[in-house]
C-alpha cells in the first residue's frame, strides 16, 4: 500500500493537531488547525486565529481519517500518522510544512512511510523515572458532554519535535484526562522521560472544513500521574472508562496495563465570536 497517496488514506482536507517547541524541547505550542494535503510530503496548515510558526521550525502534525467516524474497535482501524515536518513559507493564517519523516498506521500495521534523505531518529538519553501517583482518592465528576467524543490526540515531549498519537480517553468536568497504555509503547517511554504533555479534544466526528471558524476544541496542558492498580480509584475509573469506551475492556485484563491521569495546568479553547 506504500504507493497509495497520503491523501487517499487520510483525506484531502482534514482537521490536524500541530505541535512545536518554542524553546529547547521544554516548552510546547499546540494548535488545532485545518490541513490541506498537497502531496505525499507537503501540507498546507490553516489557522483561523493565526499562529507563531516560523520558516525552518520543526513541527509535528497529527493526521488521521477520523472525520465523521464515531465508532471504534480495539485495533483502532483508522489511518493515522505523526507527521514530522519543517515549516516552509508562512502567512498570518497559513503555513506550508514539508515532511522529514512519518509513518501511517492502520491498526498496528505501518501501511505507508516516508523518510527524507539523511534523516535519523534523534537519540534520547533522558533517564526514565517513575511517575508520581495520582492525588485522587475518589473518581471525579465525569464530563458527560464528551461521551460521544471517544478519541483525543496526545502530544508528548519527544526529542527535537513532539510526538503525537490518538488515545481513547475519559474526561472530567475539571479537565482531568484518563487513558491506558502499556509501558513498551513509545508514548509511555516519552511520558516516563517528561511528566508533562498536551491533550487535544476536538469535534472531528462532526467536522466540516467549510465551518472552520466554528471549530470546537480544547487543548489541555497537563502534569502526568499514574493511577496504580492498588488504588481504589483505579477500579472506579476503569468502570467509567469502559462505560464510555467498551472496546477497551480487554486491555484492562493485561497485567502490564498502566492507567494515566493527566491533571490540567492550562486549558486553551478557541476564541468565541463577539
Average confidence score pLDDT of the chain: 90
> Which whole number is the average pLDDT over 108-127?
93
Domains of the chain (ranges; CATH) run 6-116+129-268 (2.30.110.10)
Q: Which residues of 197-224 are buried (b: 16+ CB within 10 A; e: fewer)?
A: bbbbbbbbeebebeeeeebebbbbbbeb
* Ramachandran sector of residue 213 (left: φ over 0; alpha: ψ -120 to 50; beta: rest): alpha
Q: What is the pLDDT of residues 119-139, one digit of tens each?
A: 998 999 999 999 999 999 999
* CA–CA separation, 59 and 22 (whole Å): 10
Burial code (b: 16+ CB inside 10 Å, e: under 16) for 97-112 equals bebbbbbbbbeeeeeb
pLDDT bracket for residue 44 (50, 70, 90): very high
pLDDT at residue 229 above 50?
yes
Residue with cell string 479553547: 269
Instruction: State residue 187's pLDDT score.
Output: 95
Which pTM value belongs to this model?
0.92
pLDDT of residue 147: 84
What are the pLDDT digits (tens) for 10-37? 999 988 999 999 876 678 999 999 999 9
pLDDT of residue 203: 72
170-209 tens-digit pLDDT: 999 999 999 999 999 999 999 999 999 999 998 776 666 6
pLDDT, average across residues 221-245: 96
pLDDT attached to residue 148: 80
78 or 249, greater pLDDT: 249
Sequence-ordered list of residues with C-beta below 8 angstroms from that of 31, at least 6 positions apart, any chain: 17, 18, 19, 45, 47, 51, 219
Share of the chain above pLDDT 90, in %: 76
Nearest 5°: the CA angle 132, 200, 30 is 95
Amino acid at each position: 500500500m506504500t504507493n497509495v497517496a497520503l491523501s487517499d488514506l487520510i483525506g484531502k482536507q482534514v482537521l490536524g493537531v500541530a505541535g512545536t517547541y518554542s524553546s529547547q524541547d521544554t516548552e510546547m505550542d499546540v494548535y488545532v488547525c485545518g490541513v490541506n494535503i498537497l502531496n505525499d510530503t507537503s501540507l498546507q496548515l490553516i489557522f483561523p486565529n493565526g499562529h507563531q510558526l516560523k520558516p525552518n521550525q520543526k513541527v509535528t502534525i497529527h493526521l488521521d481519517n477520523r472525520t465523521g467516524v464515531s465508532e471504534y474497535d480495539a485495533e483502532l482501524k483508522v489511518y493515522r500518522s505523526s507527521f514530522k515536518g519543517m515549516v516552509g513559507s508562512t502567512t498570518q493564517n497559513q503555513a506550508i510544512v514539508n515532511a522529514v519523516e512519518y509513518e501511517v498506521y492502520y491498526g498496528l500495521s505501518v501501511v505507508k512511510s516516508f523518510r527524507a534523505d539523511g534523516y535519523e531518529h534523534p537519540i534520547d538519553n533522558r533517564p526514565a523515572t517513575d511517575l508520581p501517583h495520582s492525588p485522587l482518592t475518589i473518581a471525579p465528576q465525569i464530563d458527560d458532554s464528551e461521551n460521544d467524543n471517544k478519541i483525543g490526540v496526545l502530544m508528548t515531549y519527544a526529542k527535537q519535535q513532539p510526538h503525537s498519537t490518538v488515545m481513547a480517553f475519559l474526561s472530567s468536568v475539571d479537565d482531568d484526562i484518563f487513558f491506558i497504555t502499556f509501558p513498551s509503547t513509545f508514548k509511555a517511554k516519552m511520558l516516563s522521560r517528561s511528566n508533562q504533555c498536551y491533550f487535544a479534544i476536538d469535534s472531528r466526528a462532526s467536522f466540516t472544513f467549510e465551518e472552520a471558524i466554528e471549530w470546537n476544541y480544547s487543548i489541555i496542558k497537563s502534569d502526568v500521574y499514574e493511577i496504580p492498580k492498588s488504588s481504589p480509584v483505579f477500579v472506579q475509573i476503569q468502570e467509567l472508562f469502559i462505560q464510555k469506551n467498551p472496546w477497551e475492556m480487554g486491555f484492562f485484563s493485561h497485567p502490564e496495563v498502566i492507567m494515566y491521569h493527566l491533571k490540567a495546568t492550562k486549558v486553551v479553547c478557541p476564541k468565541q465570536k463577539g
